[in-house]
Amino acid sequence: MSSRIFGSGIRRREDPRLITGAATYTDDLTMPGMLHAVMLRSPHAYAKITRIDTSRARQAPGVIASYTGADVNLNAMPCAWLPPNSSLKIAKYPTVAVDTVRYVGDIVAVVVAETPEQGYDALELIDVEYRPLNASLDPQKSCAPGAPQLHEDVPSNLAFQWTVSGGDVDAAFKNADVVVKERIVQQRLIPNAMEPRAALAKWAGASGELTLWNTTQNPHILRYLTSVVTGIAEDKLRVIAPEVGGGFGCKIPAYPGEFLAIFASRKLNRPVKWTETRSENYQATTHGRDHVQEVELAATKDGTILGIRARSWSAMGAYLSTAAPGIPTILHGLMLSGVYNVPAIKEDVYGVYTNATPVEAYRGAGRPEATFIIERMVDKLAAELTMDPVAVRQKNLIPKFENGHSVATGLTYDSGDYPGILKKLLDHVNYEALRKEQAAARTAGKIMGIGVGTYVEICGLGPSQVASAVGFQGGLWESAIVRVHPTGKVNVFIGASPHGQGEETTFAQLVAAEIGVAVDDVKVVHGDTETTPMGWGTYGSRTTAVGGAALVLATRKVKEKAKLLAAHLLEAAVEDMDYDDGKFFVKGSPDKAKTIQDIALMANLSWNMPPGMEGGLEASMFYDPPNFTYPFGAHLAVVEIDGDTGDVTLKRYVAIDDCGPQINPIIVEGQVHGGVVQGIGQALWEEAVYDANGQLVTGSMLDYALPRADRLPNIEVLSTVTPSPHHPLGLKGIGEAGTIASTATVYNAVMDALAPMGVKTLRMPFTPERVWRAIHAGGKSGGN
Amino acid sequence: MSQVAIIVNGKARKADVEPRMLLVHVLREQFNLTGTHLGCDTSQCGACTVLVDGRSAKSCTIFAVQADGSEVTTIEGLATDGQLHPLQKGFWDAHGLQCGYCTPGMIMSAVTLLRDTPDPTEAQIREGIAGNLCRCTGYQHIVDAIQLAAGRR
């Protein structure tokens, strides 16, 4: 049975409640006496508040209270990733703006009312006078002389300056036959979890305890940060993540909204709910990316890469969100080698305050940007040397390795077979034939492009000692408790907090495979700090890689104890015991076996235990991984462009990924599909656009172009299996892989299509207008 | 306040509503049918899709007073006699959902799609659900799920 459960694409147990409307998301919760908080947000990107008067709002029907910055005595919002040696300057981030607003969406006042509608009506009655200031949006310009300064204590708006360096970069460029250069704009993106953010705070005045329901990816971190911001002791705080409708990074950080709901609940001693509208989500829930990079790659004339030199300006928005500084630095710069031998690397990263929504992790978080740099530069090198892009890749790929490969940035990749996966891709699509097809299409007047992208990503974050070394203000281990009840049914309690990834199913598969219970006999409990052990959350493709390891090792502890008890009950020596598929027996006598269920009952009854053995059948594990995991892959895209309109059609997309052994292949496939499409969205359609005054022009789903079903082909998903040498089951993680690969892959395909017209560079997203202009301007296109 | 009478999932319901109240809010807040979700405020995402008089409609584009006298089916009313609707089963079998937030609206849109086009091609399905946004699945398993349901009916 066990071998069938691991690796089987069984249906998800999450689904019955989700397909019938029975699931409970945060905004679905109501309770007696519940009030609604709504936020007045700044319409200006940068302004002084010269007067604010809430007196009329307080008289409005249904309004219970209103608060401005002067009324709210919460501590400042925390920043919890402090990259070392970066001259980090954390500007004060108040939950409610006191005298200055710094982005459109900054909270200016809170109204608490009996209904949300009454609250929104009352917002109209708050009088605010602003003195607008010049806003600064572009990260390069914002740190240049003369730019408006956002925070008094942060000259030049420079939040941090961080450098990654390895090998002799100067020598690499001195010895180069060829240097290719590119200016890359990683445009700002809006994560668009389909469930907007929401919080419900319930203060129990009599006991001084607070419960917070919140749509979060990491309830335990949120409890910790809530304690810091509100002063409520952690043991009196319970954070529950109910059903969470997607995260993609934007539900990692703490936000003012939940703290203000808590503040109001404490003040009024009533439950207070806050749910953002989608417009608020676009303005004030964190965005992703927003980097400008100037990159050079040095190579010899036969296509051997010698080094990369880059400078990156990362817009951080108006304040530093919880984990934001770690993303354009640690998670980005350390991965610049990609899958290649790159002997020398140097990148200077400037984090810059801008009058925009704070940025945070967004699916891939730093790694798509790193992959984009190397994959783009490899294609540029190929074009410069008139080589096939695949040939340049093959020349520089790190050879197959099974247990550790060190790269110039100091990381040690765990295992990989990059030549193997690229070959599989080329064979699958018959690359030579595809290029011939392209040549024929071009002769026939069609604009067709083929793009290849390879990647390796760092995930399974990560060893806690490394977390400390890179300034992450938390641990990065995960936890699991496995409890076998008298009837042999199992509860698993995990600190991680899945929200769509399907671990209620895959983790049950892991336990079932380890101790031979039926998969339906395992229930996975998560998302409640009161009932689950501490854990650091679901992001960075770490839940299976780290939490899964904790679970497997906890289950093995249970199995070990079960074996000891079985030996005692069978009056045998432990060394003589054997195990198969949920049964423990003396070697050679499988007919006289004790099942895991028999043992669970006896352990819970504790009528006849070996000397010194505790009752019950339960184990816990806090697993700190010895290294990160490094999934990898090779993708290919085929595009066709309408020369009359500039419209790009994605004709074909092939994804071959290696995340190690797969617990449930259909869930892996789903992760790849979703990830790939998010990356395609960045290449072709998505961008958060601000005007020069800092107004978000793409302020609704009407204006921000999300991928839709009718614009996408079926994605061909294949895989290879290279186990991680350090994970107990070899698992690596798959949540972000698709996004990390697909933006560069589609970008390369479009540039390949446009190459005959002399277009050498172009800014994403590839809107029809931009592509049409590039086609018509040819080699004279403005590019990035 | 106006009183509206709506047959919701086969049961006659009444509610007192402000003229500005949207159908989705009445369903969620007064009838406690929270399976219908709100994903945007511009009628783009389709998470709030329900059946009004048998056809898919975004319940955020309809005032509750407009639905007076109508018959509304929400995701909670789709299964009959404890049996999942073929689309619900299709979504489950084909892994047509991840976080599940868009799913009720996606399924309710597909109901009309399959009513109008019982044997749809992949392209017809993709076009049919283009008014519903999903950020998790990349749509592919949703297309599979609808195809599966179409084949089983």
Please name the member of A21, A244, A670 whose beta carbon is closest to the beta carbon of B75.
A21
Q: Best mutation site among B81, B140, B144, B148 for testing chain A: the one with the most A CBs within 10 Å?
A: B140
Residue A1: what pLDDT?
A: 42
Examine the fold and report which residue of A623, A651, A686 is the final residue of a domain before the chain moves on.
A623
* DSSP-derived secondary structure for chain B: -EEEEEEETTEEEEEEE-TT-BHHHIIIIIS--TTS----SSS-S-TTEEEETTEEEETTSSBGGGGTT-EEE-GGGSSBTTBPPHHHHHHHHTT--SS-SSHHHHHHHHHHHHHH-SS--HHHHHHHTTTS--SSSTTHHHHHHHHHHHHH-
Domain tally for chain B? 2
Mean pLDDT of successive 10-residue stretches along chain A, which has 784 residues: 78 98 98 98 98 98 98 97 97 98 98 98 98 98 97 98 98 98 98 98 96 98 98 98 98 98 98 98 98 98 98 98 98 97 98 98 97 98 98 98 97 98 98 98 97 96 94 96 98 96 97 96 98 95 96 98 98 97 96 97 98 97 97 98 97 98 98 98 98 97 97 98 97 96 98 96 96 85 50
The pair of three-digit structure tokens given for residue A694, joined into one six-digit string: 């800092």
Q: Tell me if chain B has a CB within 8 Å of the CB of A124.
A: no
A420 — phi, psi (to 5°)? Answer: -65, -45
* CA separation for the pair A181, A295 (Å, rounded): 6
DSSP string, A438-469: HHHHHHTT-EEEEEEEEEE--BS---HHHHHH
Q: What is the pTM of this model?
A: 0.97
Nearest CA in chain A to B137: A674
B61 lies within 8 A of chain A by CB: no
Interchain pair B133, A708: CB under 8 A: yes
Chain A environment of B135 (Cβ under 8 Å) = 191-194, 246, 248, 674, 678, 706
Would you call A670 and B100 a contact, using CB atoms and an 8 Å cutoff?
no
Distance from CA of A87 to the nearest CA of B (A): 37
- Taking the CA of residue A195 and the nearest CA in chain B, the distance in Å comes to 6
Spatial contact of A503 and A248, defined as CB atoms under 8 Å apart: no
Q: Measure CB to CB from residue B133 to each of A22, A248, A701 and give the nearest one.
A: A701
Angstrom CA distances, A378 to A301, A373, A438, A764, B44, stand at 13, 9, 20, 18, 39
Number of domains forming the structure of chain A: 3
B17 lies in the same domain as B51: yes
Chain B interface test: which of A194, A657, A704 (most B C-beta within 10 Å): A194
Same structural domain, A324 and A448: yes
Tens place of pLDDT per residue across chain B (153 aa): 999 999 999 999 999 999 999 999 999 999 999 999 999 999 999 999 999 999 999 999 999 999 999 999 999 999 999 899 999 999 999 999 999 999 999 999 999 999 999 999 999 999 999 999 999 999 999 999 999 999 987
Tokens representing A127 are: 């009088």
**Is the CA virtual torsion A140, A145, A147, A149 positive or negative?**
positive
Regarding whether A619 and A551 lie in a shared domain, the answer is yes
Q: According to the model, what pLDDT value does residue A3 have?
A: 47
Q: Is residue A716 part of a domain?
A: yes
**Contact with chain B for residue A127, Cβ under 8 A:** no
A32 touches chain B (CB under 8 A): no
Is A695's Cβ below 8 Å from some Cβ in B? no
Contact A728, A552 (CB under 8 A): yes
Q: Does A28 touch chain B (CB under 8 A)?
A: yes
Q: Domain end: A596, A623, A650, which one? A: A623
**Pairing of the two strands B11-17 and B2-8:** antiparallel
> What does the block give as tokens for A119?
């609250």
ipTM of the complex: 0.98
- Best CA proximity match to A533, nearest among A557, A545, A550: A550
Return the pLDDT at B152: 81
A644 and A745 fall within a common domain? yes
Q: Are residues B92 and B68 in the same domain?
A: no
CA gap A310, A327 in Å, rounded: 16
What is the distance between the alpha carbons of residues A506 and A510, in angstroms, rounded to a whole number?
A: 6
Cα–Cα distance measured from residue A298 to residue A343, given in angstroms and rounded to the nearest whole number? 11
- Residue A484 CA to residue A505 CA, distance in Å, equals 17
Q: Looking at chain A, which residue has its C-alpha nearest residue B127? A: A710
**CATH number for position A222:** 3.90.1170.50
Distance of CA A650 to the CA centre of its chain: 25
User: Domain check: are B138 and B105 in the same one?
Assistant: yes
Length of chain B equals: 153
DSSP state of A398: P
CA atoms of A79 and A93, how far apart (whole Å):
9
Same domain, B49 and B96: no
Cα–Cα dist A604/A598, whole Å: 10
CA distance B69 to chain A (A): 24
Boundary (domain end) residue, out of B51, B77, B103:
B77
Q: Domain limits at B7?
A: 2-77
* Minimum distance, in Å, between the CA of residue A725 and any CA atom of chain B: 29
Question: Rounded distance, CA A293 to CA A187, Å?
Answer: 11
pLDDT at A172: 98
A532 found inside a domain: yes
Domain co-membership, B72 together with B106: no
Interface contact flag, B18 A117, Cβ < 8 Å: yes
Q: Does B1 touch chain A (CB under 8 A)?
A: no
User: Which residues of chain A neighbour B18 with C-beta distances below 8 Å?
Assistant: 117
Number of other CB atoms surrounding residue A2 within 10 Å? 15
B60 and B107: one domain?
no
Residues of chain A contacting residue B136, judged by C-beta atoms under 8 Å apart? 194, 246, 500, 670, 674
Distance CA A252, CA A696 (A): 23
Is-cis flag, bond preceding A191, omega within 30? Answer: no
CB-based contact A81:A471 (threshold 8 Å): yes
Are A213 and A295 members of one domain? no
Residues B90 and B65 in one domain: no
pLDDT of residue A780: 62
Question: Is there a contact between B37 and A666 if contact means CB atoms under 8 Å apart?
Answer: no
Closest chain A residue to B134, measured at CA: A194
Which of A24, A196, A674 has the CB atom closest to B137's CB atom? A674
- A760: CATH: 3.30.365.10
Last residue of a domain, one of B47, B77, B107: B77
Statement to judge: residues A382 and A493 lie in one domain: no
**Are residues B143 and A677, on separate chains, in Cβ contact within 8 Å?**
no
Strands A715-719 and A648-658, by their bridges, are parallel
State whether B102 and B54 are in the same domain.
no
Which of B40, B99, B106, B134 is the mutation pick for testing A, counting most A CBs within 10 A?
A: B99
- For residues A156 and A147, give the distance between their C-alpha atoms in angstroms, rounded to a whole number: 7
The nearest CA of chain B is from the CA of A738 a distance in Å of: 11
- Tell which of A13, A14, A18 to mutate to test the B interface (max B CBs under 10 Å): A18
3-class SS at A163? strand
A·B CB contacts under 8 A: 175
Q: Are A741 and A637 in contact (CB under 8 A)?
A: no
- Beta carbons within 8 Å of A132's beta carbon, 6+ residues apart: A44, A46, A47
- CA A74 distance to own-chain centroid: 28
Angle between the N-to-C axes of helices B103-116 and B86-93, in degrees from 0 to 180, rounded to the nearest 10:
120
Euclidean distance between CA atoms A191 and A706, whole angstroms:
10
Co-location of A277 and A303 in the same domain: no
Same domain, B54 and B100: no
Nearest chain B Cα distance for residue A145, angstroms: 40
What percent of chain A lies above the pLDDT cut of 70? 99
Q: Same domain, yes or no, for A81 and A208?
A: yes
Q: Output Rg (C-alpha) for chain B, integer angstroms.
A: 15
Calpha distance A258→A272 (Å, rounded): 10
Q: Hey, what's the torsion of the CAs at A276, A194, A190, B63, to 10 degrees?
A: -60
Claim to verify: residue A692 and residue A767 sit in the same structural domain:
yes
A298 and A270 share a domain?
Answer: no
Domain encompassing residue A732 = 288-461+627-780
Residues of B in contact with A21 (CB under 8 A): 33-36, 74-76, 104
Same domain, B66 and B113: no
- Last residue in a domain, options A229, A259, A284: A284
CATH number of the domain enclosing B129 = 1.10.150.120
3-state SS class at A557: helix
- Shared domain for B23 and B68, answered yes or no, is yes
Kindly state whether residues A203 and A308 are assigned to the same domain: no
E-state strands within A318-364: 344-353
Judgement on whether residues A619 and A634 belong to the same structural domain of the protein: no
Cβ of B92 within 8 Å of Cβ of A19? The answer is yes
Which of B98, B124, B137, B142 should one mutate to test binding to chain A, selecting the residue with the greatest count of A CBs within 10 A?
Answer: B98
**Among B residues 89-118, those touching chain A with beta carbons less than 8 Å apart:** 91-93, 95, 97-104, 107
Could you tell me if A631 and A708 lie in one domain?
Answer: yes
Residue A90 · residue A154 · CB < 8 Å: no
- Is residue B124 less than 8 Å (CB to CB) from chain A? no
Answer whether A135's CB lies under 8 Å from A694's CB.
yes
- State the smallest CA–CA distance between residue B13 and chain A in angstroms: 19
Query: Is the CB of residue A290 less than 8 Å from the CB of residue A188?
Result: yes
For B144, the closest chain A residue by CA position comes to: A714
